[in-house]
Structures are given as C-alpha cells and as structure tokens.
Structure 1
C-alpha cells in the first residue's frame, strides 16, 4: 500500500505520472554501499512504475543484490513540480519487449526511428523493472513560480 504525502492527492499524482514524459531517476545501492543513480523511461500502470533496460545493465546487477530504491520524477521546466519516493523493485524478463515497446511509443511517438529499431533489435535482451512505491511525496512550486511552463531567462 502506497502512502501519498505532499501537495497532491493520489489522483493528482496519478495524473502527473500518466501525463509527464520525463525520465525517472532511480537511486540504488552498489555492492560497496555507495549510491548509484540512473535515469530511465517509465510508465505508470496499476500503482506500479514500470521501466525496461538491457538484461546486462549494471543497474540490473545492483538491483538483484538490493531491490530497495529511491526515485524522482520531476519537471525540468518552470514551474518545478514532481514526485519523489521509495519502494521495492521486482524484475522479470521482458522477452516480448512489451514494456520496452510501450515506453518507446510513449517517449518517441513510434517505433520507426533508428534508436527505436536498435532498442527493439533481436540481439537485445530486456528486463522489466517494476517499482512498487512505498511512499510518494509530491511537490508543486507553481504558485510561487508564476504557474507558467517557460524556461527562465538569463
């Protein structure tokens, strides 16, 4: 059961996660106890954050040793808003690349680009990463940043 805290209701968090297409930043522990941070594409489905990555990725090795993660999904443009939290990862093989294909559609608007074709290549083995959030904390600086979505000027 996910605990929702912060500026938004659970429904508002879900809307943000479904509408926002910035990468998720995932922090995990390396075997030596130091932290490891990666950015991946995600989608939100049924209360779970789903990602995909290559089966031989360093992240996969670290998550097999310690499935506890922290994460951040936040906008890069003013007004800054987003969520952060922690949770537990489960991993399964994405043999038919269903999650990867859905992520490519979400972030690249189709599978015809050279990057999409490379990612979907037969020689790549994919892993589905599912993050079961324990706590999600939301924040929204719209009221103090003017509520527009333009980049600040120098």
Structure 2
C-alpha cells in the first residue's frame, strides 16, 4: 500500500482507529454508473500475509445485509474509492482506492463489533433489528492500494 499526503502510515492508522465516522465507499453499478454509500467500519491491521511475510498494511471491514445493492455491485466490480473524513474544522481525513471483497458473516461477528464501536452496545432497537435471526449479513473488506491522509489542524 502506498501512503501519501501529510499523515504518516502510523498517523493514518491512529486516525482510523480513533474516529467513529462512517466510511464513504464509492463503487460502480453494473451499468457503469458511480455509486456511493456510507458504512460503519473497523480498521484492522494486517501483520502478516498468508505466506508469513510481514506486512504493514491494513484493511477496513464493514457489515451490511447480503441483499444490499452495494454487495451485488462489489461482486461484479471490486474496485473502490473511499473516504473517512471530519465534517467540521479542523478538517482531517483519509481517502484512497483499492479493492473490496465480500464474504458471508453468518455469526454477524463484524456487525456486533461495529455496533459496539458506534453505539457502545447491542441493546438498542437498531442493534436488535440488525442482529435478528434470519437476516443474512456479509462483511465487506476494503483493501487499500493507495491512501492519502491529511490534517489541516495547523492551518485552521
């Protein structure tokens, strides 16, 4: 993964870990039209790949219903763009491009983790609705190829 911009690799990871801002995910529909969706995410470091080689990369993991349109779009065209950024000054964020993969999550493990991260528990009506039995859940994993991080705090 290439990291560009004013944030270091470590600063990008810290930003993603500390913020509970949804990721804005851009992809293409089967007709080739641009599509954007906001999803909760968790940042997960990748310490070694399958061969055991050290890797200083990371992925973003999101959860959504298996029936969501974005799932079909990503299965057909996995190339994505993404952004996690503040909406109020001082502006800071991370954006990039890469590929997405979609895998079933029958235990809803990623969803449970995201509910804890964003809502701090799984007791709300929203959490109960999302976790209900019979709802098929998938994990969308975003693997960045190029990342650009910025923080305009010093300028504001």
Q: TM-score, normalization: structure 1?
A: 0.92
Measure, in 1, the Cα distance between the counterparts of 2:87 and 2:128: 27
Measure, in 2, the Cα distance between the counterparts of 1:76 and 1:103: 21
State yes or no: 1:26 paired with 2:25.
Answer: yes
Partner secondary structure for residue 148 of structure 2: strand
State yes or no: 1:40 paired with 2:39.
Answer: yes
CA shift, 1:66, in A, is 0.2
Q: 1:62-95 deviations in whole A, cap 9, x for unaligned?
A: 0010000000000112101001000111111011
Partner of 1:70: 81
Measure, in 2, the Cα distance between the counterparts of 1:121 and 1:3: 39
2:135 aligned to which of 118, 124, 127: 124
Partner of 2:7: 8
Partner of 1:148: none
Moved beyond 2 Å, runs of 4+? none
Partner of 1:150: none
CA shift, 1:123, in A, is 2.2
Alignment length (residue pairs): 144
Partner secondary structure for residue 70 of structure 1: strand
Q: TM-score, normalization: structure 2?
A: 0.91
Partner secondary structure for residue 102 of structure 1: helix
Partner of 2:90: 79
CA shift, 1:50, in A, is 0.2
Partner secondary structure for residue 135 of structure 2: coil
Partner of 1:135: 146
Measure, in 1, the Cα distance between the counterparts of 2:7 and 2:36: 26
Partner of 1:56: 67
CA shift, 1:139, in A, is 1.1
